[in-house]
Amino acid sequence: MKPPRFVTKTPLFPWRVAAAIAAMLVVAGCASSPGRAPVEERVVRVKPGVPAPAPTSAANTPVVPGAEPAAETAKPPPGIENAGKPGYYSVKPGDTLIRIGLEFGQNWRDIARWNGLESPYTIEIGQVVRVVAPAPVASAQPVVPAGRVESRPLDARSAAATAPTTTAGTESNAAPPATAPASAAPRDGDDDIAWAWPAAGPVVAPFDDAKNKGLEIGGKAGDPVLAAADGRVVYAGSGLRGYGNLVIIKHNNTYLTAYAHNQTLLVKEDQAVRRGQKIAEMGSSDSDHVQLHFEIRRQGKPVDPARLLPAR
């Protein structure tokens, strides 16, 4: 028979019990409270008196389903409201005011003035410019106050002689209607020009409406180039590609002439010239050989100079 086992129970002191309970509470508290995420502080330094920029957030930006970001609207070219109207022209690639003036038989400076262009006279593709002089503004007729009307007995003869021919309700002393303004069409006298040959050399290439807008006249470098008729120089320079040193003379509202490929120009813009006056010296500027390219344009359209120049 085994002897009985004796188990001795160690008594717990009060301070040990309190420590155990405190440890259990700490562990339970750490397990139940959520952990704090790390916070990054951003410091924005702002100058005194300058408001800080407002924070932006994608969450604050309204999103419209299917909408695309708004693109910047292209600015329309100047004068586009006049596109297609008579007397206006839409600028194309390679155009300059000088070329437009030659094509429409106008002084390029007039075109610049009509369109309010100033130096450096820049135009852009698609721009619509006026190429015909604007119509003059008719001055208003002065208003004459109506006089007092008196009724007097008239015999039949005087009544017939003084009977008004105007419609009912109008006064017999009313002013006649104003005449219509003069038409911009060329006058008959514009075609009465005494033409002269601009150079003494032979014609080496005739007029061709599709390939050659004028006559090619041969000669030697330095040969005189003469004004074909009285007029005023509207261009003298080398700003028109393909023409070299060029002189353009306007003779009237209908005709102008062009003299190209010169080696020396002897006149300047706005200078009056007489028929037969030396205006340049023949050369080969912008050409592979010495020649004078001579054009006559009627209202800007090239015509065959051989039909207008006198027979040699």
pLDDT digits (tens, 9 = 90+) for 260-307: 999 999 999 999 999 999 999 999 999 999 999 999 999 999 999 999
Burial of 258 from C-beta contacts in 10 A (0-12 / 13-18 / 19+): buried
- For residue range 227-248, list pLDDT tens digits in order: 999 999 999 999 999 999 999 9
According to DSSP, residue 306 is labeled G
Please tell me whether the peptide bond between 120 and the residue prior to it is cis, using omega within 30 degrees of 0: yes
Please state, in angstroms and as integers, the Cα–Cα distance from residue 123 to each residue in 6, 25, 95, 240, following that order.
Answer: 118, 86, 8, 15
Q: How far apart are CA 35 and CA 38, in angstroms?
A: 10
Domain-embedded: residue 170: no
The structural domain count of the chain equals 2
**Residue 274 lies inside a defined structural domain of this protein:** yes
Burial of 74 (0-12, 13-18, 19+ CB in 10 A): exposed
| 125 and 203 within one domain | no
Q: Is 34 part of a structural domain of the chain?
A: no
Cα dihedral sign for 78, 82, 84, 89? negative
Asked whether residue 88 is domain-assigned, the answer is yes
Using CA atoms, how far apart are residues 228 and 194, in angstroms rounded to an integer? 8
- The residue segments making up the domain with residue 231 are 194-307
Return the CATH number at 100: 3.10.350.10
The answer, yes or no, to whether residue 130 has pLDDT greater than 70, is yes
Whether 222 contacts 263, CB under 8 Å: yes
Helical ranges in the chain per DSSP H: 14-32, 97-104, 108-114, 156-161
Specify the pTM: 0.62
Q: Record the tokens describing residue 110, joined without a space.
A: 């007039």
* 206 inside domain: yes
Residues listed for the chain = 312
Domain end among 130, 146, 165: 130
Q: What is the pLDDT of residues 45-99, one digit of tens each?
A: 545 555 555 555 555 555 555 555 555 678 899 999 999 999 999 999 999 999 9
